[in-house]
Amino acid sequence: MFSRCMAVLSSALIALSAGSACTKAEADGAQAGATPVAQAETAAPAEAQAQAGAAATTAPAAAADQAGTVYGAGVSQTESVAMATLLADPKAYEGKTVRVEGTVTDVCPKRGCWFEMAGEQPGQKMRFKVRDGEMVFPMDAKGKYALAEGVVAVQALSLEETRQYLEYQAREYGSTVDPASVTEPMTIVRLDGTGALVRDGK
């Protein structure tokens, strides 16, 4: 059971943004050597929902691949990198702009500054993260299909930083993994978002 939990954690694609309130909140949960996963810290969900209308536009339905609600710069790449491929060798994509897609499984409940997508394989997920207010993703994006574009970055955590990160997740988001039981460090792979397109289905 523990190994399966760690597999899920190590395959998560998580985005963070320096200088934002979300990033500061995560930084408080890990020591100076880490660049922990960004989460929202202060704003209420209602605020994020109110901002969402101004942050998104509706794409023309002419091109089937581009139909939906556009955030930020949208997506310009015509091909997606499979989530399994990216997570299997994240260093090969580090610093590169890629497009990834999947069903939205979670959205930041405080500032709407990130969303997670499910991969095709069990336990796979990726987090797409932007600076607070740059794009605001509504809670009703859950269950919809997202095309997400951004720059891949990889951050290896020490064992102590890993435990501190998991402790923060447990405290703030109700994670069920006990940080004290973790015996191996994890690597966080993040997607610094430039744009996304969210629609009802694939």
CATH of the domain at 30: 2.40.50.140
What does R_g of the chain's alpha carbons equal in angstroms? 16
Model pLDDT, residue 144: 97
Model pLDDT, residue 57: 58
Cβ-count burial 147-161 (b if 16+ within 10 Å, e if not): bbbbbbbebebeeeb
Q: Which two tokens stand for residue 170?
A: 């447990």
- Into how many domains does the chain fold? 1
The DSSP symbol for 37 reads: P
Average pLDDT, 10 consecutive residues per value, the chain (202 residues): 42 38 48 34 40 50 67 95 95 97 92 92 91 94 97 94 88 78 91 96 90
Model pLDDT, residue 56: 65
Expressed as residue numbers, the domain containing 76 is: 2-199
Model pLDDT, residue 32: 32
Model pLDDT, residue 175: 72
Model pLDDT, residue 40: 28
The model carries a pTM of 0.69
Model pLDDT, residue 134: 93
Model pLDDT, residue 190: 86
